[in-house]
Homo-oligomer: A and B are copies of this chain.
Amino acid sequence: MPRWEAGAEERLAQAAYELYIERGFDHVTVAEIAERARLTKRTFFRYFADKREVLFSGAAAFQESVVAAVISAPDGVAPIDAVVVALAAVGTGLTELGEGARQRKRLIDTSTVLQEREMIKMAGLTTSISDGLELRGIPEATARLTAEAGVTVFKTAFERWADREGSVEFAPLVHEALDELRAAIRSDDMDVRAGPANHREY
């Protein structure tokens, strides 16, 4: 990379965030971002596919970290626990960035286009987690449902984290959301189905 482009990616991202907040995502062009960063449009497109991608440049690394954690969970850990522990751990890293992560979330909430992109990234995360579970020997159907549940839990926890202010621990929000999901879909006769006490033969 030529010396005059040192820190180009960070400068472009910084300029983009500033402009998106000042004018609204829909009203900012790549030319304006490049101008504010004192770089060219061509340089912008060397780092980002389009102006949306500035907000999603960390998504691939996030996904890889989650999947690596799912795959490397100790043997014998239930699939849902492997997923939720992985999402809590990687999400903790993300939320420790503090206001940057909240700002990104707020920006996404302002734009349908960005919300759609976020949805697509979350669907990619779900598929990757599911594939990771299959590598652990989990049958496909269970892997898929577990991954969907895990991502639902993550989204819920992340929204709650973003809605609060200051330093908020992320992991407890994940476990709280999982407990709530379990309670929400529990059947009225779960006691009969799930309780070994009821099946035990004396």
Contacts and interface: CB of A to CB of B under 8 A. Distances in A.
B80 A184 contact: yes
Interface in A146-160: 146, 148-149, 152, 156
Nearest to A180: B145
Mostly, the A contact residues are helix
Contacts of A178: 185
A195 B185 contact: no
Nearest to A80: B185
A186 interface: yes
B195 A145 contact: no
A108 to B, nearest CB: 13
Given A144-B156, A145-B152, A79 B195 contact: no
A150 B124 CA distance: 20
Interface of A: 78-81, 116, 119-120, 123, 141-142, 144-146, 148-149, 152, 156, 177-178, 180-188, 190-191, 194-198
